[in-house]
Amino acid sequence: MQFRLQKSFHRVFQPPLRADGIQQAHVGQGGRERDDGAFERAAAQAGGDFSGLVVVAVANPVEGKGLFGVIPGFEDDLYKLKHHSVGRAFLYSLILPGAGEIYTGSKLKASLFFGIEIFSWYQYINKYGDGQDLEDQYRDYANQYWDPGDYRAWLVDVMGVPSDTLPYRGEDGEPQTFTHHLPDFKTQQYYEMIGKYEQFVFGWADTDYNEGDSLSKTHRVTYLQLRDESNSKFDAARNYAIVSIANRIISAFDAALSARKLNKKADRFSEVRLKARLADYYGERIPKIILTYNFY
C-alpha cells in the first residue's frame, strides 16, 4: 500500500505536476525514501517549474522488494465533488424548470419546479380552451340575435344617413359624426362593438326603435355575460402563462446559485484528495491508496 503526500504551489506552474509525469521512485530499507532526481526530470518533461516539494511514503506489502515500476496517473477519486457550470444550470432550468436542479443534484426542488410548470401549462390549456368555447358561443349568439340590417335601418330612418361613416344632424341641427363605425367584416372588433356601445343597441332583435326602446333587453345582456365569461377565462389562462414564466426564472436563478454553492464547496474539499487504484508491482497488481494534500 502506498501513501503519497504532495506539497505543490499552483501559482508557480499550471497545471500542477501530476503523478503520471513521475518515471520512478526508489524506496530503501524500512520504507525510507531515496531521491535520485526522478521528480525533477519528470517536471522538466512536463514543461513545468518544479518549485514544489513531493514526499512519497510507501508501505511495501512485499517484504524485501522496494522498487516500484511506473506510477500511473490519478483518475478515480474515492470522494470527488464535480464542478458545475453556473451558466449551464441557469440555461437548463430556463428551458425546462427543474432541469438545472437535476444537474446540481437537487431532486426535491427539481420535482417542485417541474410540478409547478406542469400544473401551470395544464391550467393554461384548460382555461384557454374554455375561453375559446365561450367565444364561439357568444359569436353564435350575436349572429343569431344581432342584425346589421336592423342597425342600418335605424341609421336611415332615424339618423337620416345610410352609413355611420357619414355625418348626421343633431337635435340642434348642427352636423355631428358617429363615434364608432361598424366594421364591414365580423372581426374581433365587430363583436366587441355591438355589445359594448349604445350606438348599436338597435341591431338587437328585442329592441325596436319604432316603439321607442332605447336600450336592448335580454339579448344584449346575455351576450355581454357570455363575452365577459370568455374574457375571464382568457385572463386566467394569461395569468397561468405568467406563473410559468416566473417559475422558469426562479428555477433558473435557483439552479445557478446552487451550482455556485456546490463549486465553492468543491473548492474547499479540493485541497485533500484520496484516490485508490491498482499498481503494477514487478508484474503483480497490488492495491494502492494515494492521499494528496495541496498547500496554497
Q: What is the pLDDT of residue 116?
A: 96
Provide φ and ψ at 18, rounded to 5°.
-100, 160
pLDDT tens per residue across span 69-101: 434 444 444 445 578 899 999 999 999 999 999
Q: What is the pLDDT of residue 263?
A: 86
Q: What interhelical angle do 107-145 and 218-269 show, nearest 10? A: 160
pLDDT band with cut points at 50, 70 and 90 for residue 240: very high
Q: What is the pLDDT of residue 247?
A: 97
pLDDT, mean over the chain:
75
Cα of first residue to Cα of last residue in the chain, in angstroms, is: 27
pLDDT tens per residue across span 37-53: 544 554 455 454 434 33
Query: DSSP readout, 186-223?
Result: --HHHHHHHHH-GGGGGGBTT--GGGT--S--HHHHHH
pTM: 0.59
- Who wins on pLDDT, 279 or 132? 132
pLDDT band with cut points at 50, 70 and 90 for residue 268: low
Contact 104, 262 (CB under 8 A): yes
Strand 272-281 to 284-293 pairing? antiparallel
Does position 224 have pLDDT exceeding 90, yes or no?
yes
d(CA 292, CA 275): 8
Most confident option among 17-21, 22-26, 117-121, 196-200: 117-121
Alpha carbon of residue 106 to chain centroid: 15
Q: What is the pLDDT of residue 206?
A: 87
Beta bridge partners of 59: none
Between 73-77, 243-247, 255-259, the lowest mean confidence (pLDDT) is in 73-77
Share above pLDDT 90 across residues of the chain, in percent, rounded to a whole number: 48
Q: What is the pLDDT of residue 34?
A: 41
